[in-house]
Structure 1
Amino acid sequence: MTTILRASSGRTGAAAGIAMMLLGVLLFAVNDTLGKWLVGTYAVGQLLLVRSISGLCAMAPFIARTERSSFVRVPRPRLQLLRILFSTMETALFFWAVAELPLAEVIAYYMAGPIYVTALSPFLLGERVGWRRWTAVAVGFVGVVLALHPSPETISIGTICALTGSFSYALFLVTTRKLAGTSGTVLMTAQLLAALVFGGALVLFQGWVQPGPVDLALMLLLGIGSLGGNLCVNQSLRLAPASVVVPFQYTLIVWGLIFGYVFFGEVIGPLTMLGTVIIVGAGLFIFVRERRLHADQITQSATGG
């Protein structure tokens, strides 16, 4: 009976974790769609500024409960600065990219971020990458090239922003991994403050377009939606193992295809679709392989091997 109850509890936790991951990804997709909708009328700096203000307001209760010393004496300050630089760059470049490219295409480029992380990890994290994952990295890069299908017609400001943004996202993930011991509230607050400053600086050059009540509410939702998505993903990882829930993050591309078609009439080409499938496959293989290696390491440690 105890075994049955434990199995049932495990299934319930897995189902709840998957549901939270799917909800978090949906919030990210809605957020990305709102960003694309708004960037057609308002400058990127204005979106970053308002998004950061609403995010900081939502974070206020968590900030208030955090020791002030945590914000003053942050560990590895230079790495913290690099992290917020990469975070600000990847967010701004995403908005610039979706202003020019289909939503699903930009999301596909960003989904290649974990592949870049694997390629960079031996050099920046000191981690060993075996031939299987290097093969997956190479296949993932083939997927990126197919999605890009480079030619004079396809290379544009939008593709450059998407590729640079996805690489910045990978560097953001690497620096976040190196700062794993830092409070999540401190990391998120620093991200929002940096985006606020950068957005404010851009507004000085790009100008400010007075939004109506609806558009202002949508801009404020950008910050709330991003935080809500992060909270759902974090909760999903508490409820279920990463090996169960993380693969569902790739449903973001499905939502990108649906929302891009419904709201913007976008249909991506066959080469881009093929490249997207390859990127997803390579990313999933790398994730599964890393989880297996991590489990093997735990087993060896437990047996004294």
Structure 2
Amino acid sequence: MSAPQNNYLGIWLMCATAFIFAVQDAMSRHLAGEYNVFMIIMIRYWFFASFVIVVASRQAGGIRKAAATTQPVLQIFRGVLLALEVCVMVTAFVILGLVESHAVFAVYPLLIAALSGPVLGEKVGWRRWSAIGIGFCGVLIILQPGFGVFQPAALIPLLAAFMFALYGLLTRYAARHDSAAVSFFWTGTAGAATMTLIGIWFWEPMVPGDWVWMGVLCMTSAFSHFLLIRAYEVAEASAVQPFAYLQLPFAAALGLLLFGETLRNNVALGTLVVVGAGLFTLWRARQVKT
């Protein structure tokens, strides 16, 4: 029998996960502003891979079962794609800040909805297509092309959103044949291998104080993934997914308080449009399934 569902607990777990993700983003912005982005992400992935291997070794069947997949190319590609997406997004934090990076990145659920047809063969009705179109209008409000203030750097978090959406779709595709434990194992190990091949060439000495921040970042990364897994274990995904959007206001608040960032009116308005459209697509997808 499946475990009983507890949506209220799942919602609280997702809220905690969103907050920790936002704190991680702030620490990543600080460290990547002082050291090379590739090195910071490489160290994170070393810890992440170690966490994944420890978890796998404690399960029935051990590492052999966790690594058993009939689609290794897809699993490796997923891991590589996510690692590169993290690099792109942390670069956006350094260049644009947390507020504007997350404002643009919030479009990723709309990208998932738009790409679910060609990638997964899912049907997307006119209501969701309308929401997708409105959401992209929100992105244009944020970017303000043609008004003399457009920053080409704003395309960096948009690229990260596309990469993360593709990663999410490929994860759903992989789930047709592999368990979540298998996908989790390959996400950590393939990502760590990728970042080691890249990041080792950009190694820089780090002062002791920043090693403390690096350690906290690594530990919170593992803990946040544990909370995320638990949230999806105890509750319906459609019930908790909307609360993942809380990462945006949490990260924006940290950007305003810790890094002296500003919230421009067009960014606030565009973000409301994007988030509203994204929440509608989540609600509509749930209605279609019921």
| TM-score normalised over the length of structure 1 | 0.86
2:41 is matched by which residue type in structure 1?
L
Q: Match for 1:77 among 61, 69, 72?
A: 72
Whether the 8 Å CA contact 1:17–1:239 is kept in 2: the answer is yes
Aligned to 1:6: none
**Greater CA radius of gyration, 1 or 2?**
1
Q: Is the 8 A contact 1:147 1:275 kept in 2?
A: yes
1:197 correspondence with 2:190 = no
More displaced stretch, 158-167 vs 137-146: 158-167
1:258 to 245, 253, 256: 253
Contact preservation (8 Å) 1:62, 1:185: no
| Change in 2 beyond 3 A, CA 1:82/1:202 | closer
> Distance in 1 between the 2:161 and 2:170 partners?
14
- Please report how far the alpha carbon of residue 263 of structure 1 lies from its aligned counterpart in structure 2 after TM superposition: 0.7
CA distance in 2 between partners of 1:234 and 1:64 (Å): 17
Tell me by how many angstroms 1:189 deviates: 3.0
Q: Which residue is 2:283 aligned to? A: 288
Partner of residue 187, structure 1: 183
Show the 5 A alignment for 1:46-195: 46-66=39-59, 67=61, 68-70=63-65, 73-151=68-146, 153-156=149-152, 158-180=153-175, 181-195=177-191
Q: Amino acid of the residue matched to residue 28 of structure 2?
A: G
Residue in 1 aligned with 2:10?
17
1:34 to 23, 27, 30: 27
TM-score between both structures, scaled by the size of structure 2? 0.90
Identity of aligned residues (%): 29
- Residue 5 of structure 1 corresponds to none
RMSD: 2.1
Deviation of the 1:71 alpha carbon: 5.1
**What SS class does the counterpart of residue 99 from structure 1 fall into?**
helix
CA distance in 2, matches of 1:146, 1:224: 37
Letter in 1 for 2:219: I
Name which of structure 1's ranges 84-93 and 118-127 shifts more when overlaid on structure 2: 84-93
Seen in structure 2, the aligned counterparts of structure 1 residues 291 and 173 have a Cα distance that, compared at 3 Å, is same
Residue 20 (structure 1) shift: 0.9
Q: Distance in 2 between matches of 1:65 and 1:15?
A: 29
Aligned to 2:36: 43
Query: In the alignment, residue 36 of structure 2 is paired with which amino acid?
Result: A
Residue 34 of structure 2 aligns to a residue in which SS?
coil
* 1:184 Cα deviation from its structure 2 partner: 3.0
1:75 counterpart SS class = coil
